Amino acid sequence: MKKLISEITIIIVFLSLITCAFAQKDFSHRFKAMRVPSGKIITIPLEADHSTGFSWQLAKISDKTVIEFVKKEYTGKKEGPGVIERWSFKTLKKGKAALIFEFKRPGEKDIPAQRSEEFTVFIE
């Protein structure tokens, strides 16, 4: 009986985790790795402060056959601290892609980025 209760508890926890993972309709994430069904839009929010002249730039998409850039929007203020850049991508087919962002001033090609963020997307 105890074994049956343990198994049922494990199944309930597992199903709860799956439900939570796919409950978001817009698949907005702040995780470094994520699993997403194909054909969905994912949104990655990145904090910025445009008053410094720095902004996030998409440095690389490792596999453009599985994911594509859709748009970049701003939420919060347009200038100063508290700006959120929301980068949206569409998942195209099964596969894996890395998205690499660099926080730097536009036009400064030979100067290293102040910060960088990398996200891995597993498309199912």
Residue pLDDT, tens place only, 30-62: 558 899 999 999 999 998 887 888 889 999 999
Residue ranges and CATH numbers for the domains of the chain are 26-123 (2.60.40.2020)
Is pTM, for the whole model, over 0.75?
no
Average pLDDT, the chain: 80
Flag whether pLDDT at 5 surpasses 90: no
Inter-residue contact 55 to 80 (CB < 8 Å): no
At 21 the pLDDT is 44
Give the C-alpha separation, 36 to 61, whole Å.
16
Q: Please state the rounded mean pLDDT for residues 2-23.
A: 50
Flag whether pLDDT at 87 surpasses 50: yes
